Amino acid sequence: MTRSRLLASAVAAALGVLIAAALYGQSDAGEEAIPAGTRAIYSEVVLPPPGRGGLATGERDIHGEEIRVSCAVCHRPGDDRALVTNAAGLTEVHAGLTFAHGGNECASCHHPERRDRLRLANGKAVGFADSILLCGQCHGAQKRDFDHGAHGGMSGHWDLSRGPRTRNHCVHCHDPHAPAILPVMPADPPRDRFLNAQGEHR
């Protein structure tokens, strides 16, 4: 990553934290301020990761949802086939998987004995729904920012005494096998109906 991209990322993260702090402390117009120390009465929900440890079949069910096959259908308990070390060694249904996640191997994240689980650095098996714990082991700064609301998408209320909050999971934005976000073109700025073509007020 270039120095300018790192600097831009750091500035964006810092601005997000400052905006979050400013918004958190303000009340909406016409509402009384919530006294300091008031406990949260609403909850925060982190959406489950899409896919959650299954293989996409390319088919849809009657509700239009993607049909996935559990890892355990092929990888039964006691499966003695070793995990491959890189995407080039993948065959059959896993062939063609893009893998660009640093120096990691499949067994860096996937549990070698329990194929329907992921493995933390301490060897503990966790389900795919809890993969945010796995991501946070290496991506500590992003996990810290996520925990404070400055990383990842969110809808709802900053202040949980005013209403509930819903958060995205890491894999809503990042492919776990190739997590880098590709550069994107920024959207056009909003158009002001009172400006002419030269940007001057009418």
Contact (Cβ atoms closer than 8 angstroms) between residue 55 and residue 68 = yes
User: What is the model's pTM?
Assistant: 0.64
Alpha-helix runs per DSSP H in 27-87: none
**E strand segments, the chain:** 44-46, 54-60, 66-70, 118-119, 125-126, 154-156, 165-167
What share of the chain in percent tops pLDDT 70?
Answer: 77
Q: What is the pLDDT of residues 27-55, one digit of tens each?
A: 333 344 455 566 778 999 998 887 666 77
pLDDT tens-digit profile of 79-120?
Answer: 777 778 777 787 787 777 788 888 888 889 988 888 888 999
Of 195 and 57, the one with more pLDDT: 57
69 forms beta bridges with: 55
